[in-house]
Amino acid sequence: MTTRQQLTGYRLTGYNHALLALAEAIDDQRLTRKDLAKPLGIGAQTLSNGLRGRHRMDGRILFGLADQLGYDLALIPREDT
Number of domains the chain contains: 1
Quick: pLDDT tens for 26-73. 999 999 999 999 999 999 999 999 999 999 999 999 999 999 999 988
Q: Look at residue 55 and tell me if it is in a domain.
A: yes
User: Range of 53's domain?
Assistant: 16-68
Q: Look at residue 23 and tell me if it is in a domain.
A: yes
Residue 68's Cβ-side half-sphere holds a number of Cα atoms within 13 Å equal to 22
pLDDT exceeds 70 at position 19: yes
Q: Look at residue 75 and tell me if it is in a domain.
A: no
Residue 35's Cβ-side half-sphere holds a number of Cα atoms within 13 Å equal to 8
pLDDT exceeds 90 at position 81: no
- pLDDT computed for residue 29 by the predictor: 95
- pLDDT computed for residue 38 by the predictor: 96
